Amino acid sequence: MGSAGIILAVNIAVASMFAASYVIVALTNRSQRAALWFGATYVIGIISPVGDFLSVFVDAPRLLEWMSYAGFLTATLSMSASFAIFHGQRPAWRRIGAIFVGGLISRVWIWGLPNDTLAYNFAYQIPLALASLQAVRSVLRVGERNAFHVALATIFGAIAASLMLKPFLAVRYGSGANLQDYSRTSYALMSQASTGFLLLAAGIVLLLIVAQRAISVTQHESETDTLSGLANRRGFDRQAQELCARAARRGQPVAVAVFDLDHFKQINDSYGHQTGDAVIASFGKLLRANAPPQAVVGRLGGEEFAMLIPEATARHAHQRAERIRLAAQSASRGDVVAATVSGGVAQRSAGETLAELLRRADQALYKAKSDGRDRICAPDVADATQDSASNVLPFARARQTATLS
């Protein structure tokens, strides 16, 4: 076995490990089932070096040459489709299919021609390069693109460039008259080493993308309140700290509104926790629907909620909170549990911590409660009109599974 054969064996082993890694990630993490596509891609990719490797031992050149070519082409196109599926997008099946069919036609067309010409080698490599560029396109089309995605696109771009360089190397160093001769050439050593290195780099970056997604999903689940669908206290504090830090760096205002469902204990005592849970869930939905897109919204515990709004003054936050109060009040009319809401608003002062900001908003909330509930208190807004208590009863006609909306 020559040096090229050793590199082929290493490439097979590395591809097998990557395939196993993606399968393990997918099977041990339900949210990462799409990683199975990457595992399947690497299984297909193993076909190509296996075909080259077996050419030394098996006298079936036509079969092995097709295995080598079709395996690499299919795996590269499969990577494009897998990446799109992993990110919840529809693969460009028509483009992928056209490259695949074009590659097969090109391979048939050059069958039997001399291997040491530029025409032969370009016809061989161009479909593979197009497949690599299709992978670049799939990576760059992802909306949540980050540094790993850019790195992966760069690697597949380098693979495409290396494939287009190979015809010159094949002519310069000789690629052998057939697949068996190819495995003994210096060109095979250079070709397998360069492609193997780039695919190893792509596999590592891709594995990092999958791991990052798994960590993000786990973090999101650990920081989400399952009842309301909002961030829990842990998630709210982390996101709010980041938002406050960004606002401080940019010199932008930040305001917070805290809410508390009025007479919630009486709702639980009179109608049971199932109805209380429904009220919590419905108010969470209402809060999400009425919060600004960049706001951090969370359930701090029990029946208390908070909404941190970037680039907002106390007046803006008061107006937003008042809109939410009125929406809750309106939703409370009818044959449902009437759960009005009280709120407190505060604007962050220079150097003030998140805890201090929330403490001032809580103080405003307590004043709203003591003044009769169903109102928003905003001490930071000098001329804010404080709404008087409405005539909505603490809770009206109820049914056990009623909600706010």
Of 65, 144, 223, 303, catalytic = 303
Task: Give the position of tokens 């693979």.
Answer: 159
What span, in angstroms and rounded, lies between the C-alpha atoms of 11 and 56? 16
Residue 399 has a CB neighbour count (10 Å cut-off) of 11
Q: Treating both helix axes as pointing N-terminal to C-terminal, what angle do 35-54 and 61-86 enclose, rounded to 10 degrees?
A: 160
Q: Treating both helix axes as pointing N-terminal to C-terminal, what angle do 118-140 and 61-86 enclose, rounded to 10 degrees?
A: 20
Residue 242 catalytic? no
Strands 304-310, 296-301: pairing is antiparallel
What span, in angstroms and rounded, lies between the C-alpha atoms of 3 and 10? 11
What span, in angstroms and rounded, lies between the C-alpha atoms of 312 and 252? 8
- Say how far residue 38 (Cα) sits from the centre of its chain: 16
Two structure tokens written together for 266: 């009486």
Residue 155 has a CB neighbour count (10 Å cut-off) of 24
Q: Provide the annotated active-site residues.
A: 303
